[in-house]
Structure 1
Amino acid sequence: MEYSIFIDGEAGTTGLQIRERLESREEIRLIQVDPARRKDADARREAFAEADLAILCLPDEAAREAVELARGLDVRLIDASTAHRVDERWTFGFPELAADQRDRIASARLVSNPGCYSTGAIAMIAPLIAAGLVDEDEYLAINAVSGYSGGGKALIAEYEDGGAPDHFVYGLNQRHKHIPEIMVHTGLRVQPIFAPSVGNFAQGMAVQLPLHLDEQRTTAALFEALADHYAGQQFVEVVEAGEIGARIVPTDLNGTNMMRISVHGDDDNGCATVVAVLDNLGKGASGAAVQNLNIMLDLDEEAGL
């Protein structure tokens, strides 16, 4: 069976990578709007009407407008923007989040793609809360570094033109757009302190969760809880710290839909760091969207990934 797919916003970074992952697949037919009419509401509504599923790769407000444009049509939607990630009417598109999450995505009409930073943060925190190793009211800090492609066309141009610094920290007002989804989809009741940063590399990401240890929360207990949660998953792996070494490289999983989680620390001094590495444009964006598409259309979940 062939499925018709419309990528609304395919000229953007995420849209282009989704297109690359789909265009050679025999079971997928991509619907395109004439570039001269890509902002024409009538042309876009026609594309939505023709599609079995549409992926929104748009800024938040434009994504909300696209949802209205598709209202009343028989088309399923994946939204890659921030606009609907905490909306209860939308299913959160992180299949590995819970035992029933993949089934919820499979039957959903509306799926919100997770953010890149939040994918790493939620992947670490949610299972640890479920295992009783992190409290919902605990004061947490999350540190992260991403490649500059996560900042969109303007930041990409700044780096490619040589005008950007090698590294910078931002989001210091603690109002980063990923914080609400981290809280909602982990169950945290206290806002974590989030310190994101950008490095002088195009793709790749490392998200870090520092934790104090005690008699119950040991490095072994953290590892076991995470390994149990993700046992059998195709795209999330939990590995021993010794397999990685002393350096975490954010670009290690570039070009894949994988996320690798590891636990590092010393029970004797009571300090640990849980780390998630992923491609911010793979499992953190376009790869996740294609994985969700495969689940929603009952296709091979690894196809295109």
Structure 2
Amino acid sequence: MPTTNTQPLLSSELLGRLERLELVSRKVFRGRMKGERRSRRKGQSVEFADFRNYVAGDDLRQIDWNLYARLDQLFLKLFLEEEDLHFFALVDASESMNFGDPTKLRVAKQLAAALGYVGLCRADRVSVSVLGKEGRRAPILRGRASLWKMLAYLDSVESGHNVSLHDGVRDFAIRTTGTGVAVLLTDLMDKQGYESALRMLIGRRMDVFVMHILSPEEIDPPLRGDRKLIDVEDRDESEITINAYVLRKYKETVQSFIGNVKQFCSQRSIVYVPVRTDTPVETIVTQYLRQRGVVR
């Protein structure tokens, strides 16, 4: 019987539900190619939007000559433009993500796959990559037929890319042109902090979403007694006696950390989405992400 970490990332039932969703962008981006997404910008398509007065230099082909014959004035016909969106999923694959059942990395890959498939169904450009050197090999995908290429890439991702959030996002910013929707899937457990990484994404004029993935054991650890704690990323060791007082202070620290992240994101128009690994991915995508405006 396969474990939760070896089953397919997306079930066939979930794929069917994802096909009815659409990624949401709070900003207007100029796409490189026509897509299935209705833009708030005016352009050229078959669907009429509005009129405006003719200005010297406008395309004469857009003049409504019937209206000119009636009013003896020149008006241009405006049409709704459909455009594509560039969706970026940035997956933190540091060793701390290899924790829980399912692991935080497993959930991050499932969410990246789910949101990526939503974009592929809408003819958006989709880029799913891992923070660090591995991310440089991530392809840019388009169209439903690219689903299997995206899943194959994510299936190949393993933990151990212990690059800091700052360095991982900086590498992404250097090698990526253009703007779009950027979703960072991470536990935010970085001794160097997360603030500079998020500021870089904002500086690139990205529409930024942070999915903060934590396991139940990290929020409410089932530990007691004398323990030696070892940091899985830098091997730093600490011996501690875990009692009721220590657990209470730990929980207060975790909630304070989460509160600070929420406040940091709120002040910078970043959508913060808390994710527990014991919540089914179907529930996260079709309920939580809809409520927070990631999809509709």
Q: What TM-score do you get using the length of structure 2 for normalisation?
A: 0.30
Instruction: State which structure, 1 or 2, has the greater radius of gyration over its C-alpha atoms.
Output: 2
Q: Looking at secondary structure, tell me which structure has more helix per residue.
A: 2
